[in-house]
Amino acid sequence: MKDINLAIGNLRIANASGKLMKNISFTGSVDCGEIQRKLFKVENFQSSIEAANGLIHFNPLSMDVFEAKGKGALTVDVSGTDTVYAIDLKVPSLDFTELQKSFGKKKMIGGGGDLDASLTMQKKGRSDLVHSAKGTFSLEGKNLVYYAMDLDKIISSSKSSREANLANIGALFIAGPLSTAALEAYRHVDAYYEARKGQTNITKFVAKWKIRDGMADAVDCALATRQNRIAAKGKLNLVSEQYENLTVALVDRKGCAKAKQTIDDPFKSPRISTMSAFQLLGSSIINLFSEARDLVQGGDCEVFYSGSVGPP
């Protein structure tokens, strides 16, 4: 923490012999120029404070995060044996470039989006707060640019579709914002596609997670380009930093998987299953046959994705 200004008024201690923070009450305000934990940095933190009965409320609070203004509320509960933190934070118009910088990555994604987090965490002894994390986390964006490659061009080619690693894209966009390790593991994507040139226009991106006991479960995770839609289902273990059967799929207009891959093992060294021959995007003749069959038979299939990101 740097440049802290704390103002306190109406200070009252009900019982000096007991637990101080449980018996103290006051009002005030706090300003902090910079708060940094590892690679994550917040600037211009400002909030009103009200404390009573072991509860310290920072409400309303504001801060600069990823070159955007975040607003919300924080409650610190010190009334019990363990300290409990509850935060609600909204960061509209977040800059994806600044998000990548904070995780030590070069510019791969351009554009803006909205971050919304509602989490509670409990500090128990020396255990990390992430062990007890529960709540929701979401990141959404529209009209983004992915500078590493032209994903639509790669998928449209029969040969290239066999090389297109859906898991790389899914992990980078969908899992990446929740873990620096996940981003670190996919640095090789830059080099792999560097020779291919081009870029991808992403019309919509959504990553919504439900978190409990340090485990993140995909609720609505998908992105759409001008020609394709990619979605993901599964879990992220934020404590051990590993994928738990996270499946990334290329889905058709009905949400059925045309190709999919599953990621397991740690973020830093994931094991990615290969796509079977029938899951690979075949030649245009096979694709046309499939579309014609769907029109005749009504297109019954097992829906993989039915979330908020519609087909292109």
> Which residue is listed with tokens 């706090």?
30
How far apart CA 124 and CA 199 sit, in angstroms, is 46
Spatial contact of 172 and 96, defined as CB atoms under 8 Å apart: no
- Dihedral of CA atoms 269, 275, 281, 286 in degrees, nearest 10, equals 180
Residue 295 has a pLDDT of 41
Spatial contact of 200 and 152, defined as CB atoms under 8 Å apart: yes
Residue 71 has a pLDDT of 96
How far apart CA 215 and CA 237 sit, in angstroms, is 5
Cα 107 from chain centre: 17
Q: List the one residue out of 5, 186, 176, 34 whose CA is nearest residue 100.
A: 176
How do the pLDDT tens digits run along the chain, 312 residues long? 889 999 999 999 877 666 777 888 999 999 999 988 766 788 999 999 999 989 999 999 999 987 889 999 999 999 888 899 999 999 998 887 777 666 555 667 788 889 999 999 998 766 677 888 899 999 898 998 887 778 888 777 644 444 456 666 666 666 655 554 445 544 444 444 444 567 889 999 999 999 998 899 999 999 999 999 999 999 888 888 788 888 888 899 999 998 888 877 777 665 555 443 334 333 333 343 344 344 444 557 889 999 999 999
Cα-based distances in Å from 154 to 140, 168, 170, 257: 24, 14, 15, 17
| DSSP at 274 | P
Spatial contact of 168 and 248, defined as CB atoms under 8 Å apart: no
Residue 177 has a pLDDT of 58
Spatial contact of 297 and 283, defined as CB atoms under 8 Å apart: no
How far apart CA 122 and CA 124 sit, in angstroms, is 6
Spatial contact of 112 and 67, defined as CB atoms under 8 Å apart: no
Amino acid at residue number 25:
S
